[in-house]
Every structure is written in C-alpha cells, then in structure tokens.
Amino acid sequence: MSQSTSKGFSRREFLRGSSAAAAASSVASTAIGQDTAVAPQVVTGETSITLKINGESKTAKVEPRTTLLDMLRYQFDLTAAKPVSADGSSGASTVLVDGRPVMASSTLALSVAGKEITTCESLVDDEVPRAFVEHDAQQCGFCTPGFVVAVRAFLNQHPDATEEQILAGLNGNICRCGTYANVLQAVVSLVKGEQNG
C-alpha cells in the first residue's frame, strides 16, 4: 500500500516549497496556515501553526527554534522518529513531509506549517514494517522506524528497484546493531511483491 504519491522533485517545486516556508515563518503570534503571502520578517516567541499529522489536522505551539522532531515527540507524543543526530546524518528521524522524506531533527517546525506529515506510527498496516518483521530487519529497533519510513519513501519512487538501486538508495540510515543484511532482504522481498506476514 502506498502512503503517498510518487511525484518527481523539480526545482520549480522546490522553490515554491521554500517560499511557502519562508512565508509561513514570517507571521508572529498569529495562527499560521499555508501560503500566506507576507514579506519575510523575524519571528520570535511562541507561534501557533496548523498542519496535518498522519491525516489529522493539528495545531502546535512552536518557537522559531523548535524542530519538527521535538514538536512531534513532545507535543504529540509521536516518538517513532528518534533523536540520534541533530544534523540528520543517521536518518533516525526520517518522516515524510508532503510525501517526501526529511530529517525531522534538522527541520524547523515552522517550515512545515500547512504541510502534511507522515510518521512511522501511521504505517502500522503498511507492507514495509510487515516485511521488516518477516525478515527480522531489527535488533534493538531504535533506528528501525526511520529506516521503515526511508524504505517507504524509496519504494514510492522506485517500486521496481534493482538490488543495485537499493544498495545505492538507502544509505541515509545508520543501524548500529547491523541489520542491513536483513533490511536488504526485506526491501528485495517488497520489490518482488512477496507476501510478508
């Protein structure tokens, strides 16, 4: 089951996305929705933003420095995305923003106002975590939700990925216990459309 549409990522979209983010971060002390066309200005203090999280409309109170990760973990108790590296180099905080994978640890909450966030918790009925279980692609499990979201995003883009593409395309996530061989088996089984669980 696909959780999002597999759109290409064009420069035009990127620019549009960033201008929306800039606009979103420009309004202080008022509710921030999407695409409010106001000139950028400095934001301080707590701000209300609205966004969609796992299909539900939510309001969050965030400061300019609040990360998407802290917002998810502390305001919504959504703790699947993990704080492993602030710069996102471990991939453990991977979530989908409008269907695309981002590192929640290095994304500011204000920049996702009006957007749609998908966290690993919402993938509970998805084939990806089922394949992870079937192929035991987890040991301690702390990196696993980030990996699951990254795999979901990867397969949305590359539903027929070759093993070579898989080996090249899933290097954003670090596992310390060493589950890569199992993750690889899980992803290969998904591409082949094998029944998992």
Partner 1 sequence: MAEVQYSWPENHKTRLLGKRVNRLDGMVKSAGTAKYTYDINLPNQLIVHALGCPHAHCRVLSVDTSAAEKVPGVVLVKHIKAPKAGEDPVEIEADGTLLVAVAAESEAAAAEGVAKLKVEYELLEPFTADDDLEAAEAKDRTRPRGGGISLDEALGEPGDDEDIEEWEEKQIEKLFADADYVVEGDYGIDAITHCCLEPHGTTLHWEGDRLKAHLSTQNVSGTDDGFAGALNLTADDVDVHCDYIGGGFGSKFQPNYWGIAAAEIAKATGRPVKFMLNREQELKVAGNRPSGFVHVKLGADESGVVQIWDSHHWGTSGFNGSTVSVNSVPYVFVPKNYRRKATGIATNNEPSVAWRAPNHPQACALTQTAYDDLAAKMQADSLDIFLRNLENIDSPEKAPLYAEQLRIAADLINWQRHWHPHGKSPRKGSVVEGLGIAIHTWGGAANDSDCRLRIHPDGGVESYCGTQDLGTGTRTVCAMVLAETLGLPVEAVKVNIGSSTFPFSGASGGSTTVGAVSESHRRAAQDALAQIFELVAKKLEVPADQLEAAGGKISVVGYSDKELTWKQACSLIGIKPLEVNSSYKRQQQGRTTNLSSSNVGGCQMAHVAVDTDTGLVKIKRMVAVQNVGLIINRKTAESQVYGALIMSIAGALFEHRINDPKTGVFVNSQMDSYRLPRLGDIGELIVHLHEPESERARGVIGLGEPPVISGCAAISNAVCNATGVRVPTLPFTPKRVLDAMRTAKG
Among 83, 98, 189, 191, binds partner 1 (CB under 8 A): 83
Q: Which stretch binds partner 1 (CB under 8 A): 13-21, 24-32, 96-104, 121-129?
A: 121-129
- CA pair distance 170, 103, nearest whole angstrom: 14
Pairing of strands 100-103, 56-62: unpaired
Contact status: 180 vs partner 1 (CB under 8 A): yes
Q: What is the largest CA-CA distance in the chain?
A: 52
Contact status: 2 vs partner 1 (CB under 8 A): no
Contact status: 118 vs partner 1 (CB under 8 A): no
Element (H, E) at 172: none
Contact status: 65 vs partner 1 (CB under 8 A): yes
Among 121, 157, 189, 191, binds partner 1 (CB under 8 A): 121
CB 170 within 8 A of CB 182: no
Contact status: 138 vs partner 1 (CB under 8 A): yes
Q: How many CA atoms lie within 13 A of 130 on its CB side?
A: 13
Contact status: 129 vs partner 1 (CB under 8 A): yes
Q: Which stretch binds partner 1 (CB under 8 A): 4-12, 20-28, 51-59, 114-122?
A: 114-122
Among 43, 84, 102, 117, binds partner 1 (CB under 8 A): 84
Q: How many residues bind partner 1 (CB under 8 A)?
A: 60
Hey, what amino acid is at 172? G
Contact status: 15 vs partner 1 (CB under 8 A): no
CB 77 within 8 A of CB 56: no
Contact status: 38 vs partner 1 (CB under 8 A): no
CB closer to partner 1 out of 28 and 184: 184
Residue carrying the six token digits 């998992």? 196
b/e per residue, 139-175, with b = 16+ CB within 10 A?
eeeebbbbbbbbbbbbbbbeeebeeeebeebbebbeb
Footprint on this chain of partner 1 (rule: CB under 8 A): 63, 65-66, 70, 73-74, 77, 79-87, 89-90, 92, 119-121, 123-124, 128-130, 132-134, 136-145, 148, 166-168, 170-184, 197
